[in-house]
Amino acid sequence: MNLQTLTHLLIPALPQLACPRCGSSFSLVGTSVKCGNNHCYDLCAKGYINLAPQHDQSKEKYDATLFQSRNRILTDGFYQPVLDAIARMLEAKHGKKPFVLLDAGCGEGYYARQLAQRFHEASIIGLDLSRDGIRAAARQPGDVLWLVGDLKQLPLADHRMDCVLDVFTPANYEEFARVLKPDGELIKVIPDSDYLAEIREAFQPYLRQEGYSNQLVVDHLHKNAEILEKVEVRQTFPLNEEQSRCFLSMTPMGFSVPKEVLEKTVLREITLHLQVLRCKVQKEK
């Protein structure tokens, strides 16, 4: 995305944004956004705005290689059933009406990009703390406003979002409640017990837990939100060698695995088992 397209997407979205340092609103000044307290963030010629410039990107484990692998797997369509479930929920609630959606922790932007293609009336913001993720996102075509930002301190104004999407990303319910409209909803995607079971089995000696349970995530969710709808996705797919390599290098499970083990492991198939949850986030306590 170039500066011109970024500016074109930014102007109507300006009222939805807020300075992450002081919470005040932004105006566009030349090729920067500036808040009332003179905190200034440049529009990047690569097609995004870095609203978390203090974050030390050199410590990010979610790096360009990981996002390349994620991008390959996502564009090969493995996660299309998840995308379809999300799209059905949005369609049921909004139909053809405009809505504003934040993809919090969007990574290389698959869901935000695909939703922008399906919902032409929607305004979509993709936000991630990893600059490599947002750079990978902004390299691909799509009417999405890409922001480097922290979901623990969202650079967004209060109560402007119709939907927050949170796919395999840690949640911050207080921030989600702050930015959602009173009738806004959270769509959260969480892994279920057999999610990437083949990788868990291959990496078992290097992982802290034996099986996977989403109980902690679900308990935390129940404390902060009411689940309105639940869709379970469970499918096992055959893999070629390239896809096996990408799956092994796209997941945080690989972070603790020695490189030589990663390189010699080959998966013949992969199971995707997850829950797509449409939720009402409880008001700030």
Ligand X SMILES: C[S@@+](CC[C@H](N)C(=O)[O-])C[C@H]1O[C@@H](n2cnc3c(N)ncnc32)[C@H](O)[C@@H]1O
Alpha-carbon gap, residue 16 to 157, rounded angstroms = 5
> Which residues within the stretch 23-42 sit at the binding site for ligand X (CB under 6 A)?
none
- Is 50 near ligand X (CB under 6 A)? no
- Is 107 near ligand X (CB under 6 A)? yes
| Helical residues (DSSP H) of the chain, grouped into ranges | 3-13, 64-75, 80-94, 110-118, 131-138, 173-179, 197-202, 215-224, 241-250, 259-264
Going by the DSSP 8-state scheme, the letter that residue 239 receives in this structure is -
Q: Which of 90, 151 has the CB closer to ligand X?
A: 151
Instruction: Choose the contact partner of 21 out of Zn ion, ligand X, none; CB within 5 to 8 A by kind.
Output: Zn ion
Binding window for ligand X (CB under 6 A); candidates: 138-146, 167-175, 206-214, 277-285: 167-175
Question: Sign of dihedral through CA atoms 55, 110, 224, 215?
Answer: negative
Alpha-carbon gap, residue 183 to 180, rounded angstroms = 8
Give helix 64-75 / helix 241-250 axis angle, nearest 10°: 130
Give the nearest residue (CB) to ligand X. Answer: 107
Q: How far is the CB of 126 from ligand X (least distance, A)?
A: 9
Q: Which of 155, 254 has the CB closer to Zn ion?
A: 155
Instruction: Choose the contact partner of 49 out of ligand X, Zn ion, none; CB within 5 to 8 A by kind.
Output: none
**Residues interacting with Zn ion, by CB under 5 A?**
19, 21-22, 35, 37, 39
**Residues interacting with ligand X, by CB under 6 A?**
62, 70, 105-107, 110, 128-130, 133, 150-152, 167-170
